Amino acid sequence: MKKEKVEMLIPDAVFEKEYEHQIEFDLTSIKKLTSRNLDPSIEKPHRVGFNVIMIVFEGKGMHTVDFVPYSYRKGTVFFIAKDQVHNFKINPDADAYLLPFTDTFLSRLIVNEELKVLYEMFDYVLYPAKIQLDDDKYEDVLKLLQVLEKEFSIEMDNFKALILTPLLQAMILKLSRERLTQRLPLEQKDKALYRKFKQLSFNHDYSVHVNDYAKILNVSSKTLTNMLNKYLGKSTKKYLDEHLILKIKRLLLDENLTIENISDQLCFDEPTNMVKFFKRYENLTPTEFKKLHTF
């Protein structure tokens, strides 16, 4: 797992293969990353171009995902999806396994219909950023990690990927079982609507409103809000506003973009409206937010 240095305040962490036939999966730890003196530092907010599972095995501390700080201790597991922003707060007494892998590698794990549930594990809209394993479940996961680590250290051959795949499947399924209990599971009748809405909302801008989504999805605004209230505990408008705030935050940390650029990109009538919108939710201006997250 290496970082690509780019001329931005919010750098992108990309998955780079060290050799042509390397599988798109890695297994490392926070202490190993810090020892590599990566530039930019992993303590700065950075956007990941892959999925990451982080499993704490030592110490306590704080980890930030999409600008929200979370405490952790032994047995805490973080799920960080591709394109999310996170940063580490280094504590020399703490450490965690990091398992980064690409969407391509995740797709290879899903060999039948039943395993499609693995796609849900990185749904940061539906599920919280972290879970806490009890002692028994943590020990089960740790045993699998140790087997994974041993196999991963072996030089690449024709069997390595074949052995790692079921091991990783088993571990991710165990973790998925725990994460998916954090929310009411999607009923079959709601899955299609939820997935279509989520996909549309990822391109949300200020000019698109609840009624617009309802028309595109061919449902009533009430049906859409009832579905989101059921699974997310919030109205459609509240979800869209929160999602737009997150998009603004991510864009604010790009030094190549001005407030005017971001306002135009997200279809605000004028920059002052974006500033007012942001301040209403965050109690600080976009410029103040940017200064807080500039290192």
The per-residue pLDDT for 59 is 95
Please determine, for residue 190, whether its predicted confidence score (pLDDT) is greater than 90: yes
Map tokens 């996170």 to a residue. Answer: 86
Q: Where are the domains of the chain?
A: 2-182, 188-292
**30-66, pLDDT tens digit by residue?**
998 888 776 557 888 888 889 999 999 999 999 999 9
Q: Please, what is the end-to-end C-alpha distance for the chain in angstroms?
A: 22
Give CA–CA dist 255/213, Å, rounded: 32
Please determine, for residue 7, whether its predicted confidence score (pLDDT) is greater than 50: no
The fraction of the chain above a pLDDT of 90, given in percent, is 54
The per-residue pLDDT for 4 is 36
- Specify burial of residue 231 (Cβ count, 10 A radius: 0-12, 13-18, 19+): middle
The per-residue pLDDT for 159 is 86
Question: Helix H segments across the chain?
Answer: 30-35, 103-109, 135-152, 160-179, 188-201, 210-217, 221-232, 236-252, 259-265, 271-282, 286-292
Of 71, 100, 97, the C-alpha closest to 84 is 100
Rounded mean pLDDT of 108-131?
Answer: 84
The per-residue pLDDT for 2 is 38
Rounded mean pLDDT of 25-32?
Answer: 89
Please give the model's pTM, rounded to 2 decimal places. 0.86
Q: Same CATH topology for 2-182 and 188-292? A: no
Q: Which tokens sit at 92?
A: 């020399």
The per-residue pLDDT for 17 is 54
CATH number of 188-292: 1.10.10.60
Cβ(62)–Cβ(30) under 8 Å? no
Among 107-111, 127-131, 198-202, which stretch is predicted with the lowest mean pLDDT?
Answer: 107-111
**258-281, pLDDT tens digit by residue?**
999 999 999 999 999 999 999 999
**Orientation angle between helical segments 236-252 and 188-201, nearest 10 degrees:** 40
Give CA–CA dist 162/143, Å, rounded: 19
The per-residue pLDDT for 99 is 92
Domain 2-182: CATH superfamily, name plus number: Regulatory protein AraC (2.60.120.280)
Mean pLDDT of the chain: 87
Please determine, for residue 126, whether its predicted confidence score (pLDDT) is greater than 50: yes
